[in-house]
Amino acid sequence: MIWPLIGYNQNVRFYAETESRQVPSDEYFELYFQVENGIGKDIQPPVFTDFTVLGGPNYSAQTANDNGKVSRKCTFTFILQPKSVGIFHIGSATVTVEGKKYTSSPIEVEVVKSAKPSGIAEKT
């Protein structure tokens, strides 16, 4: 019965990511805190000073077995709306995996002024 144990000794990795590091000021975006090679619990997110939290944390988890190699992954997702234009640092989050705490690195997001819709004349 060694098969279920294969792959569980991989290094746990915890990090933050977004689909894009540049976000229009009038749109929301998703911030993902990912745990690879483990299943995270009890996330402690950073303080989102420069953003309004529209949703989250939403949690999803996956376990896969590829020819005896087991991999586990989970994601905590936050939906954020920028409060203003600028370059902002989102701080570290902390998560617990099998009783051990892991901390993500901070992530930088640039919020840019939204483009005006095409076809609309500017008032003079």
Contact 21, 81 (CB under 8 A): no
| Ranges of each domain in the chain | 10-109
What is the predicted pLDDT for the residue at 35?
97
Give the residue from 108, 98, 38, 48 showing the smallest Cα distance to 78: 48
CB-based contact 116:122 (threshold 8 Å):
yes
- CA–centroid distance for 7 within its chain: 24
Closest CA relative to residue 30, chosen from 85, 86, 77, 65? 77
CATH number, domain 10-109 = 2.60.40.740
Decide: residue 107, CB within 10 A, 0-12 exposed, 13-18 middle, 19+ buried: buried
CA-based nearest residue to 38, from 92, 104, 95? 95
Strand-by-strand arrangement of the 51-66 sheet: 13-18, 29-36, 69-82, 51-66
Q: Is the model's pTM score more than 0.85?
A: no
Per-residue tens of pLDDT for the chain, all 124 residues: 333 333 444 799 999 999 999 999 999 999 999 999 998 999 999 999 999 999 999 999 988 888 888 889 999 999 999 999 999 999 999 999 999 999 999 999 999 998 766 555 555 5
